A = this chain, B = another copy of it.
């Protein structure tokens, strides 16, 4: 008998050789039907693979990332089976799951694949899926594996085999298709209920343009047709809400060849959003007892040797500037500078918790090919702060940080979010993780408790902590259900020592503070990108670059319009007047294009009665009200940071 430990800590005994599916069935048949794979001792396994020893287990369904990615990986194999059926002699390179689906690279010889072929392929895949074929794992010797692909004449798989060692090679077979693959896979093809092939592209073999160009076929699949339909609709909606399109149309940001890739220049409208976000952050952090600092964007090599960024993080940093025999680096994180500020004046327990915040600009190297609008950039404005506290203060501080996240989520109407608690792996202490078993256990338990007590939805992941402590990755979902990684929230009991940070304790000895790294609003770049999609560009009034547009019906009313404008400006409302010699219809359309929340249409009646006719974006015509009444409505909406 072996002992299986479940996520909730419960332990049950099973016969050696039991599979995850067997275990699921022992709980409920319904559950077993949904199991796609299993996490065994921190590794994702086939749900049908026998377990021979004591293990921790969690069952992976569609609700988990690992479940989805296994599902898509298996669909890539299914697609390959269909392709082989339609294009005999096709040779395959690699076919991994990716963010939002999967692809497979293949060599079709002289044949071309067209959009129409995709529909035929989808039909074939559905047919094959309905055969309910099992994915069968087989360990195979290198010799036999080479023999198999030599006979098949597939030089690509032979190339892959060259880099594999005997004893670690596995084949997976479903139906008539066998692939060299380390797995894992879902139990059978019948789980794949809906398939969509989304794109055909060219891709050089091994990414090298000197090599042959292969055909890359993209797809996505789901356990139900309904999910696929929703997904396609979400993609359609996401296209309309594309932050790059909105960013250009609304004058939010721009980029320039002479400045450089991934380096955002924020235009006036984007800067308004930045400043409103910063104002929110400063108010919030001020109320929470943070102080603010301003630090330079560069530092000497010695600083990043102390912090450990060099050499461990060097690949993500810009190359150095050499000057006066020293190397200077653009900072990729704000922490080392903040540690220096902590250390600049001697500290006692009375000064703790010491919370310092900065909307710091950091520079990170991302490969050109990875850059994407505001989502993947090289210059990031980060809502950063570091909290230096005693062990006793940790719990309250960490809870306060989480509460701050939740406060922000409420303001931005973020209803769906998940926190991912990354833990250490005890067997890697002193190797991958700082060798402080007690501190690890303590801080992980503290973090877990805070999450539980705050009723925050979270998942735990083994062996993904930072080297200096456990961390929480915060994932949020836009209203159309797309996922964004917002920020991380980290506990650090290591850098304090590296930087020799100290405080005098109440009994006059010295101790090293714990450090919390936190950034609830992430970076301006990613968060504003998220907001553009989330609100489809129709920002709440408090965030809108132009809050009110005054539209006189004709020149006759421009004078009165300007009086209204002055009233609005006096009340610190961002207002403009459209005094062009254009028809009111065009003025309204142009204002709608720019997604201005309030339009005030002004004509004879309004002027005579000292009123304004209000059109609210998303609500339509609200009728005529006095200027004072309108001011009151808008000011309240701004002050409360209301969403529509």
CB distance from A575 to the nearest CB of B (A): 12
A 267-286 contacts with B by CB, 8 A: 267-268, 270-272, 274-275, 282
**Cβ < 8 Å to B, chain A residues 242-266:** 251, 254, 256-260, 263-266
Segment of A296-304, A510-518, A596-604 in the binding face: A296-304
Q: Is A188 an interface residue (CB 8 A)?
A: no
B265 and A296 within 8 A (CB): yes
Which residues of B have CB within 8 Å of A431? none
Q: Does chain B have a CB within 8 A of A368?
A: yes
Kindly state the separation between the CA atoms of A330 and B356 in the bound complex, as whole angstroms. Answer: 26
Q: Given A306-B258, A323-B318, verify A275-B299 contact (CB < 8 Å).
A: no
Asked whether any CB of chain B lies closer than 8 Å to the CB of A410, the reply is: no
A630 at the interface (CB under 8 A from B): no
Q: Which residues of chain B have C-beta atoms less than 8 A from A298's C-beta?
A: 259-260, 263, 318, 330, 363, 379
Of residues 357 to 383 in A, which have CB atoms within 8 Å of B's CB atoms? Answer: 361, 363, 365, 368, 379, 381
* A271 pairs with B258, CB closer than 8 A: no
Kindly state whether residue A344 has any CB partner on chain B within 8 Å.
yes
Contacting pair B272 A326 (CB below 8 A)? no
A337: which B residues are within 8 A, CB to CB?
259, 265
- Closest residue of chain B to A269 (Cβ to Cβ) is B291
In the complex, which range does the number of interface residues on chain A fall in?
Answer: 35 or more
Binary interface profile of A, 309-339, with partner B (CB < 8 Å = 1, else 0)? 0000000001111111010101000001100
A292 interface hit (Cβ, 8 Å):
yes
Q: Are A299 and B260 also in contact (CB < 8 A) when A328-B318, A381-B294 are?
A: yes
Selected contact of A258 from candidates B258, B272, B340, CB within 8 Å: B340
Tell me the smallest distance from the CB of A272 to a CB of chain B, in Å.
Answer: 7
User: How far apart are the CA atoms of A318 and B330 in the complex, in Å?
Assistant: 12
- A330 contacts across to B, CB distance below 8 A: 297-298, 321
Q: Are A266 and B254 in contact (CB under 8 A)?
A: no
Q: Measured between alpha carbons, how far is A271 from B318 in the docked complex, in Å? A: 27
How many chain copies? 2
Contact A368 B324 (CB under 8 A): yes
**A265 partner residues in chain B, CB cutoff 8 A:** 293-296, 337, 340-341, 344
Instruction: Pick the residue among B251, B266, B292, B328 that contacts A268 (CB under 8 A).
Output: B292
Chain B residues within 8 Å of A294, by CB: 265-266, 270-271, 274, 381
Of chain B, the residue at the smallest CB distance from A358 is B271
Decide: B344 and A256 in contact? CB cutoff 8 A. Answer: yes
A297 to B360, CA, bound (A): 12
A99 contacts chain B at the CB level, 8 A cutoff: no
Question: A292 CA to B272 CA in the complex, in Å?
Answer: 7
Bound CA–CA A197/B318 (angstroms): 51
A115 at the interface (CB under 8 A from B): no
Instruction: Please tell me if A110 contacts chain B, counting CB pairs below 8 Å.
Output: no
A345 within 8 Å of B (CB atoms): yes
A293 to B264, CA, bound (A): 11
Tell me which residues across on chain B come within 8 A of A272, comparing CB atoms: 292
Residue pair A271, B291 in contact (C-beta under 8 Å)? yes
Question: Contacts of A266 on B, CB cut-off 8 Å?
Answer: 293-295
Complex Cα distance, B266 from A259, in Å, reads 28
Known contacts: A259-B300, A260-B326, A318-B328. The answer to whether A341 contacts B381 by CB under 8 A is no
Say whether chain A's binding surface is mostly helix, strand, loop, or mixed: mixed
> A323, B319: Cβ atoms under 8 Å?
yes
CA distance A340 to B296 in the complex (A): 24
Give Cα distance in the complex from A266 to B359, angstroms.
Answer: 13
Assess whether B263 is in contact with A296, with CB atoms less than 8 Å apart.
yes
Bound Cα distance A293, B259 (Å): 15
**With A and B bound together, what is the CA distance between A29 and B299 in angstroms?**
61
Shortest CB distance A547–B (Å): 14
> Which of A266, A292, A294 gathers the greatest number of chain B CB atoms within 10 Å?
A294
Among A256, A274, A330, the one with the most B-chain Cβ atoms within 10 Å of its Cβ is A256
* Residues in B neighbouring A299, C-beta threshold 8 A: 258-260, 263
In chain B, what residue has the closest Cβ to A381? Answer: B294
Which of chain B's residues have a CB closer than 8 A to the CB of A295? 259, 265-266
Bound-complex Cα distance A302 to B306 (A): 35
A268 proximity list for chain B (CB < 8 A): 291-293, 356
Distance A345 CA – B293 CA, assembled complex (angstroms): 35
Residues of B within 8 A of A300 (CB): 257-260
Partner of A275, one of B257, B292, B322, B361: B292
Give complex CA distance A254, B321 in Å.
23
A375 vs chain B, min Cβ distance (A): 17
Flag if A340 contacts B256 (CB, 8 Å).
Answer: yes
Report A471 CB to chain B, min CB distance, Å: 25
CB-based contact A296/B328 at 8 Å: no
- The CA of A432 and the CA of B414, in the complex, are separated in Å by 59
Among B293, B303, B321, B363, contact of A318 (Cβ-Cβ < 8 Å): B321
Residues of chain A in range 38-61 having any CB-CB distance to chain B below 8 Å? none
Shortest CB distance A204–B (Å): 19
**Distance to closest chain B CB from A323 (angstroms):** 5
A347 to chain B, nearest CB (A): 12
Roughly how many angstroms separate A321 CA and B260 CA in the complex, as a whole number?
13
Tell me the smallest distance from the CB of A319 to a CB of chain B, in Å: 5
Please, which residues of chain B bring their CB within 8 A of the CB of A292?
A: 268, 271-272, 275
Report how far A345 CA is from B252 CA in the complex, Å: 11
20 of the cross-chain contacts (CB-CB < 8 Å) are A254-B340, A257-B300, A258-B300, A258-B340, A259-B296, A259-B337, A259-B340, A260-B328, A265-B337, A266-B293, A267-B345, A268-B292, A268-B356, A274-B294, A297-B297, A297-B379, A298-B363, A298-B379, A319-B321, A319-B323
Q: Which 8 A-B pairs have the closest CB atoms?
A: A268-B291, A266-B294, A254-B344, A258-B303, A263-B296, A271-B292, A296-B379, A259-B299
Beyond A267-B344, A270-B294, A274-B294, 11 additional pairs, beta carbon < 8 A: A256-B344, A260-B328, A264-B296, A265-B337, A265-B340, A268-B292, A271-B293, A297-B379, A298-B318, A319-B321, A323-B365
